[in-house]
Amino acid sequence: MPALSPQPLAAPDHSAAHALWSAYAAAEPLAAAAAPDYLVDQFGDHRELADELLGLVAAGVKTGTASLLAEYVWEGEVPPGIGSHTIFCSGDGAPRVVVRTVGLRICRFDEVTSEFAYTEGEGDRSLAHWRHEHQVFWERVTQAAGRSFSPDMEVLCENFVKVWPPEGISDPG
């Protein structure tokens, strides 16, 4: 039986993300006021991957994520800054968690450290696993953008803390 192809990400529900942000801001007014803008995003490039990585955040295992710096340019987006907030959504677009960026480092793909790979929480958490999986992922991403992947591409290594909801990952339904 052939493997099912991954389901594409559904667009994030921005009105539900605003409601999640409002709940956070009401409970933590000083933290929200210190960085009142937020990004709405998803992990990965398909629903299954987004949900898997969100589960790692819920379990407290994933406290880092990496992005190709060039991707922000291609997509016309601004990278997060220290103290900024991101609402991560599940693969079906439902907002589930608010995180705050606590660390950023730009380096080449082939210079990512084993310490950072561990914070991503994926697989066996080794640098070898991180490099393999991220190269496969970014080869898909760059190809879809009409570009090609190279180990000297700059990567934004971001560390974050989950700040909302306090009890875990929210479930809108």
Q: How confident is the model at residue 66 (pLDDT cuts 50, 70, 90)?
A: very high
Domains belonging to the chain, first-starting first, are 14-26+36-164 (3.10.400.10)
Residues 8-39: pLDDT tens digits?
A: 999 999 999 999 999 999 999 999 998 889 99
Residues 118-138: pLDDT tens digits?
A: 999 999 999 999 999 999 999
Q: In what order do the strands lie in the sheet with 38-42?
A: 38-42, 85-89, 95-108, 154-164, 64-68
Prediction pTM value: 0.92
Give DSSP secondary structure letters for 65-129: EEEEHHHHHHHT-----TT-EEEEE-TTS-EEEEEEEEEEEEEEGGG--HHHHHHH--TT--HHH
